Amino acid sequence: SPVFLISVLGTVLEYFEYAIYGFLAPVLALHFFPGGDSTTALLKIFGVFAIGSLSKPLGALIFGYLGDVQGRRISLRYSMIGISFPTFIVGILPGYDTWGWVTTLLLVLCRMSQGIFIAGESDGVHIYVFEHFSSKYPCLMMSLVGCGAYLGITLASLVASQIPLGGEAWRFVFLGCSLFGVIVFFLRRYLIETPPFLAW
């Protein structure tokens, strides 16, 4: 159904946006932590990646409350635009050679934001789909949502494998992701609220 497809499309895209950073870590290390030992730069990039994961519990709390108070549909729309905005910022962020520690700080804040919003997407879309389709094939539908996340990660790895180590081609990946995120954000306007929330 369109409801399911729009929901899972957002999951595919959000996990693509979240994972592409990790797959492009060697490229990003050259841009955000230039000079010195390349291994140290790579470890710093993965350290920033870990910060995004550590912020997920906060996102789960925020979006759990938002979904219960304002509805599942609103929660999914906010999570979509929320992860796309920091992806756009990373795509246009100047290198360390230009802004120094300010670049590092902004990169950390962007990854924290992505961790918060992807937590809202991960839990929110499972709840949304379950409440719409729990009367028929609930386990299958939950499994398909999970497949959407893995599909996004797989696509991110395939795209990253085509990006050269040098140059600025990686920026187009981040900017393209953010553009598709805005499109899915508007598509999610057509999601209908779940019956259990309306009955609550």
Question: How many helices (H) and strands (E) are present in the chain, helices listed first?
Answer: 10, 0
If one counts every other C-beta atom within 10 angstroms of the C-beta of residue 98, the result is 9
pLDDT tens digits, residue range 128-158?
888 888 777 788 888 888 899 899 999 999 9
Question: Rg of the chain over CA atoms, in angstroms?
Answer: 18
If one counts every other C-beta atom within 10 angstroms of the C-beta of residue 55, the result is 19
CB–CB of 9/188 below 8 Å?
no
* DSSP 8-state secondary structure symbol assigned to residue 200: -
Burial class (CB in 10 A: 0-12, 13-18, 19+), 82: buried
Reported confidence tier of residue 42, pLDDT bands at 50, 70, 90: confident
What per-residue confidence (pLDDT) applies to 51? 85
CA angle at residue 10 from 133 to 12, to 5 degrees?
A: 100
What per-residue confidence (pLDDT) applies to 38? 78
Q: Is residue 19's pLDDT more than 80?
A: yes
* 52, 54, 58, 60: CA torsion to nearest 10: 80
Please report, as a single letter, which amino acid is at residue 187.
Answer: L
The two three-digit tokens of residue 196, written as one number: 């259990």
pLDDT tens digits, residue range 56-66?
889 889 998 99
Considering only residues 36 and 25, tell me which one the structure prediction assigns the higher pLDDT. Answer: 25
Considering only residues 154 and 53, tell me which one the structure prediction assigns the higher pLDDT. Answer: 154
Burial class (CB in 10 A: 0-12, 13-18, 19+), 186: exposed
Q: What is the pTM of this model?
A: 0.86
CB–CB of 177/17 below 8 Å?
yes
Closest CA to 85 of 118, 60, 51: 118
CB–CB of 31/157 below 8 Å?
no
What per-residue confidence (pLDDT) applies to 45? 86
CA 154 vs. chain centroid, Å, equals 14
Burial class (CB in 10 A: 0-12, 13-18, 19+), 15: buried
